[in-house]
Amino acid sequence: MRSVAVVGASLAGLGAARALRAQGFDGALTLVGAEPHPPYDRPPLSKAVLLGTAGPADLDLCDPADADLAAEWRLGVPATGLDRHRRSVLLADGTEVRADGVVVATGALPRRLPGPPLAGVHVLRTREDAAALRGALTSGPRVVVVGGGFIGAEAASACAALGLDTTVVEAAPLPLAGVLGAEMAAHCADLHAAAGVRLLCGTGVARLLGTGRVRAVELADGRRLPADTVVAGIGAVPAADWLAGSGVAVADGVVCDGGGRTSVPGVVAVGDVARWRTPGGSVRAEHWTAAVEQPAVAVRNLLAGATVAEYRRPPYFWSDQYGVRVQFAGRRAPGDTVRVVEGDPAQRSFAAVYERAGAAAAVLAVDRARAFTRLRRTLTA
């Protein structure tokens, strides 16, 4: 393999470039990125950036050693196609990058609320999204956050810390119940109320009201919530449209084996865009740690031309909200027995283990980092 193109120049893409060099690849390396910025970190966007305690310079992922990557950076130019026969990545500016190997690391795009675009309606994925939302929050608006998942909860938490009138709307009976199970999700839902944030569950958004600028959110049950700013935290879709017609199989993410190899030889996929086969089924992780850890495995397989390594770590993510850190690792399934093993949910500090057939299947901690680290090891084992 004489040349590799990494498409998507963010967390997973940078990790792939580093892994290629670390594993001895000394051919031509090109990183293609749709955004004009060098790789930056996204988790602070919904936390410190909204609070105004971090700015763009604090997000940089590159360090001085990355100069040794000797890579060609094609930033601000999205890839528009992959021609597997010519082994070439086509770019929006009409140029192409010829490459024997391709790493797909194009991440995900935020889902948007249906309807015509209205001023005051925000998503949160990029530096620009966070800057725009932060700007809107400084004028003291009434905020409605649509979606009570992690990004919605973090945005609501930042709004509450800024003293804003904040409502979270969640279509499901309880936010995060699918991930954490109803009992533990209820403890996380309590965090909203404790911070003075209204949480409205079990009703979706019917439409946004306003001409040119959002004025209110109308719920499916007819209620109208006045809003100056709306944040859509309703998930993200894999950025894989550019692969249409390439032969790379896509089904809610680029379909990969347990080592990141796709249906096309010489093409691997990593990070939020990738759906890897795991012992628990096929999973698109959408977590920072997976985007950091998958590239070394995928690159090894790319260079070997075969699946010689698989990624087997249980999924892990964290979320910082309302002054506590929520951490979760493993895979919960319906029917798991969940036990609080340390602390007290009423005190907003506890660790819980999900058990299946007598073994730990997942671990949750709220503001209990040391217990979490200890319990997580039992999962890995």
Ligand X SMILES: Cc1cc2nc3c(=O)[nH]c(=O)nc-3n(C[C@H](O)[C@H](O)[C@H](O)COP(=O)(O)OP(=O)(O)OC[C@H]3O[C@@H](n4cnc5c(N)ncnc54)[C@H](O)[C@@H]3O)c2cc1C
Q: Could you list the residues that contact ligand X (CB under 6 A)?
A: 7-13, 32-35, 42-43, 45-46, 78-79, 105-108, 124-125, 151, 239, 242, 271-272, 286-289, 291, 317-319
CA distance 219 to 171: 10
CA distance 70 to 28: 8
By beta-carbon proximity to ligand X, the closer residue of 38 and 266 is: 38
Rounded to the nearest whole angstrom, what is the least distance from the CB of residue 313 to ligand X in the complex? 13
Under a CB-based contact definition with an 8 Å cutoff, are residues 232 and 146 in contact?
A: yes
Under a CB-based contact definition with an 8 Å cutoff, are residues 207 and 229 in contact?
A: no
Rounded to the nearest whole angstrom, what is the least distance from the CB of residue 168 to ligand X in the complex? 16
By beta-carbon proximity to ligand X, the closer residue of 7 and 145 is: 7
By beta-carbon proximity to ligand X, the closer residue of 263 and 289 is: 289
Helix/strand/coil percentages in the chain, nearest 5: 30, 35, 40
Q: Name the token pair of 127.
A: 């530096």
Rounded to the nearest whole angstrom, what is the least distance from the CB of residue 60 to ligand X in the complex? 13
By beta-carbon proximity to ligand X, the closer residue of 120 and 271 is: 271
By beta-carbon proximity to ligand X, the closer residue of 35 and 218 is: 35
Rounded to the nearest whole angstrom, what is the least distance from the CB of residue 244 to ligand X in the complex? 11
Rounded to the nearest whole angstrom, what is the least distance from the CB of residue 11 to ligand X in the complex? 4
Contacts of residue 26, defined as CB under 8 A and 6 or more positions apart, other chains included, come to none
CA distance 267 to 359: 37
**Residue 43: closest CA among 142, 127, 133:** 127
- Measured CA to CA in angstroms, residue 129 lies from 50, 125, 126, 134, 227 at distances of 10, 6, 5, 9, 18
Count of C-beta atoms within a 10 Å radius of residue 137: 23
Q: Name the token pair of 167.
A: 């409502």
Indicate left, alpha or beta for 34 from its phi (over 0: left) and psi (-120 to 50: alpha): alpha
**Residue 29: closest CA among 89, 80, 86:** 89
By beta-carbon proximity to ligand X, the closer residue of 42 and 376 is: 42
Rounded to the nearest whole angstrom, what is the least distance from the CB of residue 243 to ligand X in the complex? 9
Please name every residue paired with 83 in a beta bridge, in sequence order, or none if there are none. Answer: 88
Rounded to the nearest whole angstrom, what is the least distance from the CB of residue 220 to ligand X in the complex? 26
Rounded to the nearest whole angstrom, what is the least distance from the CB of residue 76 to ligand X in the complex? 9
Tokens 């498409």 -> residue: 7
By beta-carbon proximity to ligand X, the closer residue of 157 and 216 is: 157
By beta-carbon proximity to ligand X, the closer residue of 15 and 210 is: 15
